[in-house]
Amino acid sequence: MNENQIREIVARVLSSLDNSEATIPVEASARHVHLTKEAVETLFGKGTTLTKKRDLSQPGEFLSEQRIKLVTAKGEIANVAVLGPERKAVQVELSLTDCRTLGIKAPVNLSGDLSGAGDVYLVSECGIYNATKSVIVAKNHIHMTPTDAAKYGVSDSQSVKVRVKTSRPVTFEDVIIRVNQNFALAMHIDFDEANACCLDKNSKGKIY
């Protein structure tokens, strides 16, 4: 077989790969904060706990009725979602666009990794919480069960490329697989990434 014949075969293989179905739901995560019990009490009053407004796609996680304002010397963003339940560390997840608005230098980290995280003040009607080392730009990732992982041939912590199929398709690299029995299949990207690919509610991704 000569090189040209191989090229033709490869072109056919690549073309068939590109046409296979994209099946991973892709969700845009809006800016939000996770709070500790202490931060909740500082911001919303002693003895207060977060009240659930609606469940999120990952089991146990919920959008609360509470909202806070982010404040820095450079600017502020109001009406920011607070997710529950309470966590062991305050974590503020913003897009790079938000970080520019607020003048915050924040790293692109996986949720839970606060190394190098930025500073911001959280402000509510009844309190202010100084959230130092809390701000990250959430690195994109895919939640899935062990069954999903077997289906897609990937494993926990693996880095993959994902093409998001939209009117403005984009391929993201170094997307991290997160496997847990309790997860629901979903890729999470931030609003910059969602707007860059014109994401809509039915957009699906495909692992490469």
* Residues at the interface with its own copies (CB under 8 A): 1, 6, 9-10, 95-97, 100, 108, 163, 167-174, 191-193, 195-198
CA neighbor of 102 nearest in space, from 126, 77, 124: 77
Q: How far is the CB of 96 from its own copies (least distance, A)?
A: 4
Q: Burial-class residue 197 by CB neighbours within 10 Å (0-12, 13-18, 19+).
A: buried
Nearer to its own copies, 97 or 158 (CB): 97
177, 181, 186, 190: CA torsion to nearest 10: -60
Q: How far is the CB of 133 from its own copies (least distance, A)?
A: 20
CA 197 to chain centroid, in Å, comes to: 15
Q: How far is the CB of 145 from its own copies (least distance, A)?
A: 27
Nearer to its own copies, 35 or 94 (CB): 94
Question: What CA–CA distances, in Å, run from 104 to 67, 77, 176?
Answer: 20, 12, 24
Q: How far is the CB of 28 from its own copies (least distance, A)?
A: 11
Nearer to its own copies, 51 or 171 (CB): 171
